[in-house]
Structure 1
């Protein structure tokens, strides 16, 4: 029906057959569809009034194209497809443009961020630009700007544009998460590389330590040298430094070891001349005082000869340590044979041999074991109190054959017990007229080390004497039989 204007109360005047209406029931109510000519757009309004029978004919709900709160019905507004297409061409990704007329009706919309928000502006600042002052605002997920459309100074409408920043925010969050994950992965990779580098350095240093230990024999001599590396890094520099130091130490050690041989060779000739001269003077008729001097000179020559003999003994012993000449022998038999000789050499000293446990024959050089026992018993005889026995004990323990020589006498000073078996170390304090270079226990340690054993000296538990203990590994010796 055609109705009159609002001032006449929207009264229907006649039926319009160009307008068709369709009614369809739905699950939630109904749907009304209208078909009307385009010429009526902007001039035609409509409203829907719901009247229920039990309400006495009164309307219970009304819907129309009018604005909420207006008594009069509003107009139908149709967007321009051409304008919307133009706006879509202007819009870039996540951008949307809208055009509103002076009545705040949306005439067109275009862009990738379009949404069904109705034909009225959704932001208060959007239409405020109608006064000619551009407006801009930002929200949680978008930024918006609007500007007035004018012609000859007259406002025709408003162009509004907004860009969604949700994608950018999502990209930023994704980038942040990726950065965090990347930083964590980078930290883990750095830790893994540091651990791998530390392990590599540790293994290289361990190989250097093994190589350095491999060029030192059981007697502390440097045999060989570390290979040169060319200074590639700090570890290689360390290897080269150790190699240079070991070479210098080897040269100096060789010089010291050969010094005794050279001195012996150089001193024997003048000693022989002195000895022969003193021998020729003895038959001569010398005054009493001169005879005493000749006698003292002869004693000095004999002491020098003894010193030279002791110095060369160490060298000869080192040269005789040949593993290829080792054999199986009975340790108890060697000990008892040596003790029988000691009883003849020192008739005023008692000797005891105590076998605390039996074991199989051992592998080594019996003459060297006998020489080692000679040094230990000679040392015990010199320090033992007169009239006290020297005991030689044979036992086993912790997989070792144990040979122990015990004498009663002065205790060992604490400060020298650790160095007692070094070269040229002696703790003798008695003026017995004998020559002591401190080589006896050094040679004993050399023999024990050659057999894979060790030697030490300590005071007896009762504090009345000293015990020198030699430990020779049974497993090494017995295993060689196979």
Structure 2
């Protein structure tokens, strides 16, 4: 879903509020003006009609002739109010006569029946009603045009008079008013949009700057700061951001300094240990060669010294490798590698041929760092043999772009609580055996070597039992710059992790 930007939402809110206010105000103004215009027009016409009806019918005989009614109707229609008149009354000789001022426009058929009934209905005269007949009116439409129809009966047996006044001019005036109000509403909408744009620029520009600064801070540019001006809430937020960024920068610098010091300490310690370790290793090799000639009481101690010296030597090499990864100085030395031959060489060098089953086609080529691939394979296969037991099966499959190597054992598998930590440094599955054969760095180093190739290692339990470590590598890592690296750490015994 594509979210609407805050600027657009703010403008929409402004526009909707302005539109609602303008429409409401325009509607109220229109109806008030409409009511005022129509009321004024109809009151003027009805008052003039009432007076004219009294003046022109008062001089008529009790039973006038039809021409006399017609003459009276014509006189009534000649007023300034411009309405048509229809007079209906009994005339000499018997019968009724309808005398319209405009025979083509105004006939009794035009007058609504409800109005005729109301006009001719005699009401009881009492204190609250001094007249038996009243003037009634109604608005109608003829031929699509509005008209006012009114009627009254002359008291004392006189004729009944009706008026028909066109309201077309009033409608035109009201339509003009409606257009004016519509234009005013449109202008108000445009004005609100401009106001919303100005408000959005005023409010959102600092927010946008804050967002950009937070993005740069997240990218590691810890010296990012905001220029602060004003005393409003956004200015307070910017000051808080600057204080937070400053505190974060100091904290990161402290942690970076400590981390650099730790790396230097480990590197220096490892280098310093290599010289005495070289001498100790030479002595232990001599003692191992003379093991058969030693006193049986001394031989176990000599064997312990030999194994622990080798373990210490492996730990120092692993620490130096980890230091190179942490310092970012580890580099790839790429070569075209036959994967089946590489795996066979790794297994043969460690005398694992009888314990490992290989499922790989020869001729499967990939451009990798062979030394680092050997480190990965040695750690994964050795870990499987140590904790899962033989036979260990190594299978290779390839796609157009990737190489997938799976190492599976037939042991008890990896406990669920251990799975998320098998690649953690110095992690041991059993806390009761802190001095196990491995250092807890092997799988971590294998994972770092996979990452430097642009690959990944995952650990899982097989549905048929045992653990499966899956190495995924790109078949061609030529995009990596071949800068070489420092002194290579030699082949190491597989370390770390637990199956």
TM value normalised by structure 2: 0.46
Higher relative CO (CA 8 A, sep ≥ 6), structure 1 or 2? 2
More strand by share: 1
Larger helix share, 1 or 2? 2
**TM-score where L is the length of structure 1:** 0.48
